[in-house]
Amino acid sequence: QVPFTVLQGEGVEYLGHANDAVIAISNYRLHIKFKDSVINVPLRMMESVECRDMFQLHIVCKDSKVIRYLCHFSTFKQCQEWLKRLTRAIARPAKPEDLFAFAYHAWCLGVCVDEEDQHAHLCRPGDHVKYRFEMELVRMGFDLQNVWRVSDINNNYKLCSSYPQKLLVPVWITDKELENVASFRSWKRIPVVVYRHVRNGAVIARCSQPEISWWGWRNADDEYLVTSIAKACALNPGIKVSGGMLHNGSSDGSEACDADFDSSLTACSGVENAGTPQKLLILDARSYTAAVANRAKGGGCECEEYYPNCEVVFMGMANIHSIRNSFQYLRAVCSQVPDPSNWLSALESTKWLQHLSVMLKAAVLVSSAVDREGRPVLVHCSDGWDRTPQIVALAKILLDPYYRTMEGFQVLVESDWLDFGHKFGDRCGHQEKVEDQNEQCPVFLQWLDAVHQLLKQFPCLFEFNEAFLVKLVQHTYSCLYGTFLGNSPCEREMHNIYKRTCSVWSLLRAGNKNFHNLLYMPGSEQVLHPVCHVRALHVWTAVYLPASSPHPLGQDDMDIYLPPGSQSQEFSGRCLDRLPKTRSMDDLLSACDSSSPLTRTSSDPNLNNHCQEVRVGLE
């Protein structure tokens, strides 16, 4: 008998016994039921599995969890059999349809085939995601009559397969010029505008590196497009307040920002008249050394001499290989048993927090240039699909309170990560036919960690809570939903993933109170200025240290991978039994009445005597 409640579309492939547990492998997860605990792990969440001490399994998960001493088999042969089964189960799929998201959606479609509206509600994101491009253009106030235009040059992804089909550029830039620019930019990822500051008109654009190479190639149309972005901002200025000054929306807490790179933002003291373009900031996420080294591969960076009225700044962010190594070190440190005595030095050696600090500084540099100085910013790294979305999306959160709402955050992820071709399939390790295993890297997880740092520093300015981010981490890898399948919008459309899988936003919708931040104060227009020092950052314990103990993960840790309603009643009851028995006040109003004595006891019995002593003292 299957020892767990089977999910929609889930089929059990292997079922057996170890000395101390019942073990099952389905097409979605590994399930192990011990006498007093249960472990559920999605197969796609697992990065590797190996045999330890001859009779036990050891699982390493992509979201940093490590499950030690999993089951104790009676013989070495039995352990090896289950190791082979798990290894086959977690192997990369031969085709996208092998991922569980398709079977899960097919079941939902079969159940709701006569109730199309209900099916759409359960499986599809809202209109704010479906019509995000058009709605964002209106919300940010782009002048599409005189200054900006939406180019259809990428219809059917004929120009760039990793870009969206609709691209926003200055109105006087022709499609022929865009084609010439594409021939000069890596992977044809041309500079396009993705954000506009409503109050001063400054924009954020993104692209990939120019293909300068050792020969020092130039492209007149590329230089023209970059400088035209700054000119367009001057022609489409923002909304000014009385006195001719721009309201920047920043708070008194801006002094908390790092002083070591604030000085680099003073090149332009303020917005001048609308006809004078501001000096455009080209932010290269790489170090200068790495950018120059890329010329050997045909890449490179912009030369200020050829791009008039532009300034190039290098941020020194690490590449995916350094981030992958840092994450592996972090996972090893967080999974050490027993807890290491040199925890702080071991954490420092991973350089994870240092990498987060650099990312936050880059985002603050962009947001400050846009908000304080009204300067347009162009962001790129090498290919423009890893470090670039990290910086751009984080800067947009700092600048715009809309992206701190649940609805706006969904639009942000869809627009800056999915539409612009972050390679989720390769980076998360669930893409089929991958030859280079070194493509795997927790880039999106690192960005979510940075958002978590902002949530820690500004707990009242985000509509969603930490559980929202944790759930997003889990379903980035679980493949229960189709949102993060594939490497590009072209690939997702080719496989019809949008219509054949459920959207994770149907779970993380704004109406789900489980993910609502009770401290949220709507209506705030504050621009965030976070502290970026390493000492101000925190280890994300909910993700990297979920158990906070050296014991194997129990069901209360692993059931969070499952969709709502799939957790067993047995587990729910057991969790409630473990909670401290406290008594709550039935009527707070009557409790405040001096005529009715307080007879309830504190949830901490040790405080009862102390409270009585205080009460006597007050009398």
Is 295 labeled as ligand-binding? yes
Cβ–Cβ < 8 Å for 234, 274? yes
Half-sphere exposure of 114 (CA within 13 A, CB side): 0
Is 386 labeled as ligand-binding? yes
Q: Are strands 167-170 and 148-151 parallel, antiparallel or unpaired?
A: antiparallel
Cβ–Cβ < 8 Å for 82, 73? yes
Query: What b/e readout covers 309-348, taking b as 16+ CB neighbours within 10 angstroms?
Result: ebbbbbbebbbbeebbebbebbbebbbeeeeeeeeeebbe
Question: Which residues, in sequence order, are CB contacts of 31 under 8 Å at separation 6+?
Answer: 3, 4, 23, 24, 25, 38, 39, 40
Which ranges of 458-495 would DSSP assign to H, the alpha helix? 466-478, 489-494
3-class secondary structure, 402 = helix
Is 301 labeled as ligand-binding? no
Residue whose structure tokens are 């007050």: 618
Q: How many helices (H) and strands (E) does the chain have?
A: 24, 14
From residue 268, give the alpha-carbon distance in Å to each of 196, 226, 374, 379, 398. Answer: 19, 18, 9, 18, 20
* H or E element that contains 135: helix 132-139
Cis peptide before 389 (omega within 30 of 0): no
Is 101 labeled as ligand-binding? no
Cβ–Cβ < 8 Å for 287, 319? no
Is 384 labeled as ligand-binding? yes
Token couple for 543: 């993700």
Is 471 labeled as ligand-binding? no
Is 200 labeled as ligand-binding? no
* H or E element that contains 444: helix 443-457
Is 320 labeled as ligand-binding? yes
Is 352 labeled as ligand-binding? no
Q: What number of other Cβ atoms are within 10 A of residue 432's Cβ?
A: 14
Is 36 labeled as ligand-binding? no
Half-sphere exposure of 69 (CA within 13 A, CB side): 10
Is 500 labeled as ligand-binding? no
Token couple for 449: 């960690």
Residue whose structure tokens are 């890329």: 294
From residue 438, give the alpha-carbon distance in Å to each of 319, 321, 428, 441. Answer: 12, 7, 11, 8
Instruction: Look up 381 and say whether it is catalytic.
Output: yes
Cβ–Cβ < 8 Å for 503, 121? no
Is 382 labeled as ligand-binding? yes
Is 201 labeled as ligand-binding? no
Token couple for 323: 């981030």
What is the rounded distance in angstroms from the CA atom of residue 617 to the CA atom of residue 610?
11
What is the rounded distance in angstroms from the CA atom of residue 269 to the CA atom of residue 263?
11
Residue whose structure tokens are 């158990």: 547
From residue 523, give the alpha-carbon distance in Å to each of 344, 461, 512. Answer: 39, 9, 20
Q: Which of 61, 71, 123, 381 is catalytic?
A: 381
Sequence ranges of the binding site: 294-297, 319-320, 381-387
Residues taking part in catalysis: 381
Sequence ranges of the binding site for substrate: 294-297, 319-320, 381-387
